[in-house]
Structure 1
Amino acid sequence: MEVYKTISELRAGILLKEDIYGKTKYPIMRKDTELSLEHIEVLQAFGVKRVKVEERVIQKDMPDSEKTAPMNADEVLENIPVSMYQLRKEYNEAVGSYKKEFSYWRAGQRPDVPKVRAFVIPLLEKFIKQKKMLVMLNDFSNPEEYIYHHSVAVGILAAAISNQLGYEKGDTLQLGLAGVLADCGMAKISPAILEKTAFLTKEEYNEVKKHTLFSVKMIQDTPLLRQDMKLAILQHHERLDGSGYPRGEKMSTISIYSQILAVADVFHAMTSERLYRVKHSPYKVIEMIKEEEFGKFDIKVVEALLRLVGNLSIGTRVKLTDGEIGEIMFIHRDNPLRPMIKKESDGVIIDLTAHRGIAISKIVE
Structure 2
Amino acid sequence: MTDVYIKTSDLRPGIVLSENVFVNTNHAIIRKNTVLLPEHLEVLNAFGVREVKIEEQSVVKREEDLEVKDGEVNPDQVLTSIPLKQTDLKTEYRQAVEKYKREFIGWQAGTKPDIAKVRVILLPVLENFIKQKRMLNLLNNIANPKDYLYHHSIAVGVLASAISMQMGHPKGQSLQLGLAGVLADCGMAKIDATITDKAAFLTKEEFNEVKKHTIYSFKMVQDTPLLRQEMKLAIFQHHERLDGSGYPRGSRMDQITVFAQILAVADVFHAMTSERLYRSKESPFKVIEMIKEEEFGKFDLKVVQALHDLVGNLSIGMKVHLTNGETGEIVFIHRDARLRPMIKKEDGTILDLTINRRIAVEKVLD
Same fold (TM over 0.5): yes
**Aligned partner (choices 339, 343, 349) of residue 341 of structure 2:** 339
Equivalent AA in structure 2 for residue 349 of structure 1: I
Q: Answer yes or no: is the 8 Å Cα contact 1:141–1:272 preserved in 2.
A: yes
Stretches of structure 2 lacking an aligned partner (at least 5 in a row): 1-82
Q: Secondary structure at the match of 2:341?
A: strand
Shift of 1:364: 1.9
Match of 1:363? 364
C-alpha distance in structure 2 between counterparts of 1:342 and 1:191, whole Å: 48
What amino acid sits opposite 2:357 in the alignment?
R
One-letter code aligned to 1:308? L
Q: Distance in 2 between matches of 1:85 and 1:201?
A: 43
Does 1:237 find its partner at 2:226? no
Give the Cα–Cα distance (whole angstroms) in 2 for the partners of residues 254 and 84 of structure 1.
39
Structure 1, unpaired ranges of 5+:
1-80
The one-letter code of the counterpart of 1:355 is: N
Which position in structure 2 is the counterpart of 1:312?
314
**Residue 320 of structure 2 aligns to a residue in which SS?**
strand
Q: Equivalent residue of 2:298, what SS?
A: coil
Look up the SS of the partner of 1:305 in the other structure.
helix
Say which one has the larger Rg. 1
Contact 1:236 1:258 in 2 (8 A): yes
Q: CA deviation at 1:84?
A: 10
In 2, the alpha carbon distance for the partners of 1:104 and 1:220 equals 18
Structure 1 runs (4+) greater than 4 angstroms displaced? 81-85
Pairing 1:145–2:147 present: yes
Structure 1 CA distance for aligned equivalents of residues 343 and 108 of structure 2: 49
Measure, in 2, the Cα distance between the counterparts of 1:291 and 1:224.
Answer: 37
1:1-365 to 2 correspondences below 5 Å: 86-344=88-346, 346-365=347-366
CA distance in 1, matches of 2:208, 2:314: 39
Contact 2:84 / 2:124 at 8 angstroms: preserved in 1?
Answer: no
Cα gap change, 1:83 to 1:142, in 2 (>3 Å): farther
Q: In structure 2, the residue corresponding to 1:163 is in which secondary structure?
A: helix
Residues 65-121 of structure 1: CA deviation (Å, up to 9, x unaligned): xxxxxxxxxxxxxxxx98997001110110011000001100001110000001101
Do 2:160 and 2:262's aligned partners in 1 also have CA atoms closer than 8 Å? Answer: yes
**Amino acid in structure 1 at the alignment position of 2:221:** I
Report the 3-state secondary structure (helix = DSSP H, G, I; strand = E; otherwise coil) of the residue aligned with 1:217: helix
Which deviations, in whole Å up to 9, do the C-alpha atoms of 1:322-353 show, x marking residues without a partner? 11111111111221110000111x21101111
Q: Say what the alpha-carbon RMSD is for the aligned residues.
A: 1.4
Letter in 2 for 1:360: V
- 1:185 shift after superposition: 0.3
Bigger mean CA deviation after superposition, 166-175 or 83-92: 83-92
Secondary structure class of the residue paired with 2:88: helix
Letter in 1 for 2:283: S
- Alpha-carbon distance between aligned partners in 2 of 1:84 and 1:241, rounded to the nearest angstrom: 44
Shift of 1:314: 1.1
CA 1:331–1:83 in 2, change beyond 3 Å: closer, same or farther?
A: farther
CA distance in structure 2 between the partners assigned to 1:130 and 1:364 by the alignment: 16
Q: Which residue of 1 aligns with 2:18?
A: none
Contact kept, 8 Å, 1:110 with 1:219, in 2: the verdict is: no
TM-score by length of 1: 0.76
CA distance in 1, matches of 2:152, 2:333: 31
User: Secondary structure of the equivalent of 1:329?
Assistant: strand
User: Equivalents in 2 of 1:142, 1:104: separation in Å?
Assistant: 21
